[in-house]
Amino acid sequence: MSGQRIYVFKRFERFWHWAQAALIIAMLITGFEIHGSWHLLGFDRAVGLHTAAAWSLITLWVFAIFWHFTTGEWRQYIPTLTNVDAMARYYVLGIFTGAPHPFRATQLRKHNPLQRLAYLLVKLVINPLVWVSGLALLYYPSWRDAAGAPALGTVALLHTVGAFMMLIFLIAHVYLATAGHTPLAHIKAMITGWEEVE
């Protein structure tokens, strides 16, 4: 491939991405242990690690929100329907037939239209669902007797639904990260910050 390299992902973005990934994976592993899916750490230790990872992730999200708004990077997540159909066709068929990628990243447009929609879903639906339900579970003794408070089972179910939504996003994200001009091109860009474009 002949092309050029552009600096797309800033240092904080890369730190935020990998730290968030590590914390989410830790929370998925400990969450499955809390649910009894396996026994690696023991219930009490899994709960402690899950809670510590949750607070670390919330702290990271607060810093990320601040960073996105102070740098103007929040604009990268404004959804657009322009070329969504082209991106969908590429991911469904074109990726398997060697079709050219219909989107070219730039410093001002890092994410393609489907990425923008997916990341917006994560930021506005999945993260708040996990965050609010997780805090409600953590502070259950404080609200359990409140009139109109949801039942613990309902909150736990919402937290589990949010966790599975995050797991599905994570699997899709890892798979699509290998859909560059080489299987590791996008992963390399998220490590170095430099994206190779035609």
Residue ranges and CATH numbers for the domains of the chain are 4-197 (1.20.950.20)
* Cβ partners under 8 Å of residue 91, min gap 6: 114, 176, 179
Residue 44 has pLDDT above 90, yes or no: yes
Phi and psi at 4, nearest 5°, equal -135, 165
Confidence band for 132, pLDDT divided at 50, 70 and 90: very high
Polymer length in residues for the chain: 198
Q: Calculate the alpha carbon distances from 61 to 29, 76, 156 in Å.
A: 20, 16, 22
Predicted confidence (pLDDT) per residue in 6-39, tens digit: 899 999 999 999 999 999 999 999 999 999 999 9
**Percent above pLDDT 90 for the chain:** 63
Pairwise pLDDT comparison (33 vs 180), residue with the higher score: 33
Q: Calculate the alpha carbon distances from 120 to 10, 91, 99, 137 in Å.
A: 20, 19, 27, 25
Mean pLDDT over the full length of the chain: 91
CA nearest neighbour of 67 among 104, 5, 14: 14
- Confidence (pTM): 0.88
Greatest pairwise CA separation for the chain in angstroms: 65
Predicted confidence (pLDDT) per residue in 70-122, tens digit: 999 999 988 888 889 999 999 888 888 888 888 888 888 889 999 999 999 99
Q: What local confidence, expressed as pLDDT, does residue 73 receive?
A: 92
